[in-house]
Structures are given as C-alpha cells and as structure tokens.
C-alpha cells in the first residue's frame, strides 16, 4: 500500500489526463491475488470508500483516476498466465498481464489474438474493461468478440465466474457482456479467458497516397464492395506523419498528397494475400491514388505499423483534447470535412486520422498550429475555442448517428458529452443497473455518468 504523496502521484493520471479531479488517491493498494482483491472491495464497501481499478494506466479519458477521498486498486501484481489451452484455442490470464506478454504467450502457442489496441503496455483487464478496439477491428472486431470468460469481484466482495471455454450460450442474461466496457463501474475484473485463432499464413501492407483526405476515405467503400475485408484500413493525414517522422527519425513512404490509406490484408498463404492486394490496387488506382506501394517484408511492415501506432505520440505534447468518435462508414468523409472546416473557421489545428473501414475517427485539438511536423506557439484563446470545437464535433457525430467514443471509453473526460447522447429512459436504465450491482456507489463513481 502506497500512502506517500510522491509515490501516489503517478497513479493520479492516465496517459492523457493530468489529475482533472484535483486530488490524488488517498492510497494505492496492490493486491497479490484475487482473494486480496475481494477482501479490499469488501473493506471499501463497509467503510464506503470509493475505489478505482487501474491497469497499465494507458487510458486516455481519466477512467482509472480515483474519486475524491478514494483509493486506487492497482492490478499490476496480478500478472500471471494461468492456462494455455491449444486444444480449445484459449488462454486464461490475470487482469494485470500486459498485452505485450499476452501476444508473446499466444505466439508460443502458434496461435493468434487479433485485437491490437495500440499500446502494448496496456493490461488485459483494462482492455476488456474499456472494450478496446484498434486497427484490426474492421475484420476481427473489438476485444469483446474474443472474451469467453471472466472472473469478477462484485461491489459486495463476492466473486463470480462468468462464461468459460465454450463458444455458444443462450443461458439467461449475459452478465459477462455487461462487464465488458463497463470501465470498472460494475465489478472488478480479475481474470480473463480469451478465445484465439489459428495464425494467418501471409500478410501484405499497401500504402496509397491521395491528393485529399476525402478522396482517400471515399475509396474505402469501393474496396469493401469488391468482396474483400482487409485486416486494417487506416487513413492518415500527412500533417501528422511529418510529426512522427521528426519523433522517430524515420520516413513515411508516401510523400505526395494530403493523406494516405494504409491497408493490411492477411490470408492463408501468399497467393491469397497477393490476390487481395492486386484487387485493392486496381480499386486504388481507379479512385485516384497518386501511387500504390506494396510490401511483404516483415521489417518494413513493422516500421510502417510502428509509425502508424505512434501518430498520437507525435502530437501528444500539444494535444488538449482527443476526440475518439465513431460514425457509420458512409459518414466518415463528411465528418472529417466538418473537422477541417472548423480548422479554417476557428484558426486551430485538428490533425485527424483513424480506422477508415470501421468509422472510428481520431481528431486532436492542439494548443498551437501544426506546420511541417512542428507545433507553433500556444494560441492565446485555445480554451475558448476548445469548447466550440468539442460542441461542434459531438453535435455532428450525433446528427450522423454515431457515438462519442469508439474505443477509448467515457471515463471522466467524455461524461458530459456521453450524457447528451442519451435519452432519459436510456440513462435511467443505465443508472438502475449501476444501482443494482453497486448499491453503495463505491466502484469508480462518477465515471461514464453520474448517479
């Protein structure tokens, strides 16, 4: 248990937020096993102490930050791989196992866990609690699709085992699904059983620059219309790749135009993936791509993927708000156009990239103007403009039938915007579920919505 203020400070924020609540946790508690988790939760219930569960701290919405007067329950010591079962294509781990460790263990089994939310320092428990997504969601879905079983500790301190190694269930309410994406507000996830897939035989990466972001994004439906479902389809604006080039001292292969599509296809063998890549290349050329670059070299693919994964890091220091919205695929281009209209109208920089085939768009409001990979001096009125940008973006998302978060969660930072997306009956139903499972309101109170 940590009580010293200096030791508690790293647990007072996540990767984006810097103590928005204005308080540090009263203590940071690190249980060594599931029984200790249950005992801590029971104690918090008896003493009415708020409790926030923390995984790797890689979140971007303040979801793992303690409430005033509360503690942080860190899962970092629950880091054991409990069961590897190739016969059932499953792996069971404790919530504190990192994604990096998970990928390593799955690879040893010669199997495949497709979801890749980005930061491999994230913990599996946190990825489940946020229903993390990532670039591969277009073909393989989010983490939710692969969760077969959970062990959770309820607010009462009682332990439930949900699901198992089976694939199908129509046996009553699916409580496990309710826990996925609940951000620690309904129960504490202590262990997870994940379903795995056979490994893919071949991977090809295609990079295609376009004159404009709209042209790039509007090409995606034509690709899907040819009967091909790529592993990933990312659109990347070159204003952001310049920043990553400076950060990593590496070069983004596509130099022309305003934006690129990065497309990854996988399949049973090289013949399969080359056939997919050939068809996609035809669509790209017909849609106005300035070039079509294809690579099957693992080292080069890894470098391109690393640069894509580091886009946020390229502008992170200057980012004052990250919009993680999701709209129907057909609405992406129009939403991105709205974002750039805001840039021109308000005199701000909103570099944008995202998952072009699943509708998840990331726009970053910066303190200064981004030019040639560098952010200029802080704008004196960025705080006032932040409110205007936030309202305009979320209003546009609602009009297009989208949601305010595609993969990062709600936490603290999106709470007000999320509430405006809900009808009164919808909010009442969510509050009723929270009250039933956490009657004393000790589990991550104030996150997602207020009671």
DSSP string, 211-246: SSHHHHHHTHHHHHTTT---SEEEEEEHHHHHHHHH
Q: Which residues partner with 355 through β-bridges?
A: 234, 360
- What does the pLDDT average to over 41-52? 98
Listed residue (237, 252, 347) closest to 307, CA to CA? 252
Residue 42 in any domain: the answer is yes
Question: Same structural domain for residues 143 and 226?
Answer: no
Question: Same structural domain for residues 140 and 226?
Answer: no
Listed residue (357, 371, 420, 424) closest to 134, CA to CA? 357
Residue 289 in any domain: the answer is yes
Residue 63 in any domain: the answer is yes
Q: pLDDT > 70: what percent of the chain?
A: 99
What 75-83 contacts at long range (C-beta under 8 Å, 24+ apart), as own/partner pairs, is 75/31, 75/123, 75/125, 75/126, 75/190, 76/30, 76/123, 77/30, 77/31, 77/32, 78/31, 78/32, 78/33, 78/34, 78/37, 78/125, 78/190, 78/191, 81/105, 82/191, 83/193
Domain span at residue 15? 5-74
pTM: 0.94
Residue with token string 């005199």: 347
Angle at 24 between CA 73 and CA 311, to 5 degrees: 80
> Would you say residue 116 has pLDDT above 50?
yes
CATH of the domain at 37: 3.30.43.10
> Would you say residue 286 has pLDDT above 60?
yes
pLDDT at site 301? 87
pLDDT at site 124? 98
For residue 247 the two structure tokens come to 């950060």
Question: Same structural domain for residues 222 and 168?
Answer: no
Contact 158, 94 (CB under 8 A): no
Question: Same structural domain for residues 146 and 171?
Answer: yes
Distance, CA of 154 to CA of 37 (rounded, Å): 10
Beta carbons within 10 angstroms of residue 338's beta carbon:
19
> Would you say residue 204 has pLDDT above 80?
yes
Question: Same structural domain for residues 62 and 159?
Answer: no
Confidence bin at 118 (pLDDT 50/70/90): confident
In whole angstroms, how far apart are CA 303 and each of 68, 121, 245, 295, 296?
A: 43, 19, 11, 11, 12
Question: Same structural domain for residues 291 and 370?
Answer: no
pLDDT in tens, 374-397: 999 999 999 999 999 999 999 999
pLDDT at site 300? 87
Distance, CA of 293 to CA of 276 (rounded, Å): 14
CATH of the domain at 382: 3.30.70.2740
pLDDT at site 15? 86
Distance, CA of 82 to CA of 115 (rounded, Å): 20
Query: What's phi and psi for 364, nearest 5 deg?
Result: -120, 120
Question: Same structural domain for residues 178 and 92?
Answer: yes
Residue 423 in any domain: the answer is no
Question: Same structural domain for residues 181 and 287?
Answer: no
Task: Label residue 344 left, alpha or beta by phi (over 0 means left) and psi (-120 to 50 means alpha).
Answer: alpha
Distance, CA of 262 to CA of 207 (rounded, Å): 5
Mapped onto helix, strand or coil, the DSSP state of residue 286 is: helix
Residue 328 in any domain: the answer is yes
> What is the total count of domains within the chain?
4
Confidence bin at 331 (pLDDT 50/70/90): very high
Q: Select from 288, 311, 334 the last residue of a domain.
A: 311
Question: Same structural domain for residues 50 and 135?
Answer: no
> Would you say residue 16 has pLDDT above 80?
no
Listed residue (151, 52, 134) closest to 93, CA to CA? 151
Beta carbons within 10 angstroms of residue 37's beta carbon:
25
pLDDT at site 22? 57
Confidence bin at 51 (pLDDT 50/70/90): very high
- What does the pLDDT average to over 132-160? 96
pLDDT at site 19? 46
Distance, CA of 72 to CA of 57 (rounded, Å): 11
Helix axes 238-248, 298-309, angle to 10 degrees: 110
What integer best gives the mean pLDDT of the chain?
Answer: 94
Q: pLDDT > 90: what percent of the chain?
A: 92
> Would you say residue 247 has pLDDT above 90?
yes
Residue 404 in any domain: the answer is no
CATH of the domain at 93: 3.30.465.10
Residue 152 in any domain: the answer is yes
Q: Select from 43, 74, 105 the last residue of a domain.
A: 74
Question: Same structural domain for residues 301 and 207?
Answer: yes
Residue with token string 């409580």: 175
Residue 427 in any domain: the answer is no
Q: Select from 311, 334, 362 the last residue of a domain.
A: 311
Question: Same structural domain for residues 244 and 261?
Answer: yes
Beta strand ranges found along 272-342 (DSSP E)? 293-295, 319-326
Confidence bin at 297 (pLDDT 50/70/90): confident
DSSP H or E run through 274 = helix 270-286
Angle at 370 between CA 369 and CA 373, to 5 degrees: 155
pLDDT at site 17? 60
């Amino acid at each position: 248990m940590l009580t010293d203020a200096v030791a508690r400070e790293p647990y007072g924020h996540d990767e984006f937020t810097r103590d928005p609540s204005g308080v540090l946790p009263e203590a940071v508690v690190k249980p060594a096993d599931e029984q200790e988790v249950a005992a801590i939760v029971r104690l918090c219930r008896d003493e009415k102490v708020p409790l926030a569960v923390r995984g790797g701290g890689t979140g971007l919405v303040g979801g793992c930050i303690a409430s005033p007067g509360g503690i942080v329950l860190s899962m970092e010591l629950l880091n054991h791989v409990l069961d590897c079962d190739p016969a059932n294509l499953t792996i069971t781990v404790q919530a504190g196992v990192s994604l990096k460790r998970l990928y390593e263990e799955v690879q040893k089994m010669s199997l495949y866990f497709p979801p890749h939310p980005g930061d491999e320092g994230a913990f599996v428990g946190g990825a489940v609690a946020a229903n993390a997504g990532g670039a591969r969601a277009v073909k393989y879905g989010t983490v939710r699709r692969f969760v077969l079983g959970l062990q959770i500790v309820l607010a009462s301190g009682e332990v439930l085992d949900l699901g198992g190694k089976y694939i199908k269930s129509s046996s009553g309410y699916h409580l496990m699904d309710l826990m996925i994406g609940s951000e620690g507000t309904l129960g504490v996830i202590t262990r997870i059983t994940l379903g795995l897939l056979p490994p893919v035989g071949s991977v090809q990466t295609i990079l295609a620059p376009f004159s404009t972001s709209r042209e790039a994004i509007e090409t995606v439906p034509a690709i899907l219309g040819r009967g091909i479902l790529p592993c990933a389809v990312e659109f990347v604006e070159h204003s952001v790749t310049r920043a990553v080039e400076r950060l990593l001292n590496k070069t983004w292969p596509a130099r022309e135009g305003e934006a690129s599509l990065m497309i990854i296809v996988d399949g049973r063998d090289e013949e399969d993936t080359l056939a997919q890549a050939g068809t996609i290349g035809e669509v790209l050329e017909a849609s106005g791509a300035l070039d079509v670059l294809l690579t099957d070299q693992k080292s080069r693919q890894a470098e391109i993927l690393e640069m894509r994964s580091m886009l946020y890091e390229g502008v992170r220091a200057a980012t004052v708000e990250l919009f993680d919205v999701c709209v129907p695929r057909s609405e992406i281009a129009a939403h991105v156009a709205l974002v750039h209209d805001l840039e021109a109208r308000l005199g701000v920089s909103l570099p944008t990239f995202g998952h072009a085939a699943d509708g998840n768009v990331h726009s970053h409001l910066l303190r200064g103007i981004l030019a040639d990979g560098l952010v200029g001096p802080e704008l004196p009125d960025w705080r006032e403009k932040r409110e205007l940008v936030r309202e305009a973006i979320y209003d546009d998302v609602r009009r297009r039938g989208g949601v305010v978060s595609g993969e990062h969660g709600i936490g603290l930072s999106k709470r007000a915007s999320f509430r405006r997306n809900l009808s009164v009956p919808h909010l009442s139903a969510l509050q009723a579920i929270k009250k039933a499972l956490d009657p004393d309101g000790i589990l991550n109170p104030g996150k997602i919505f207020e009671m």
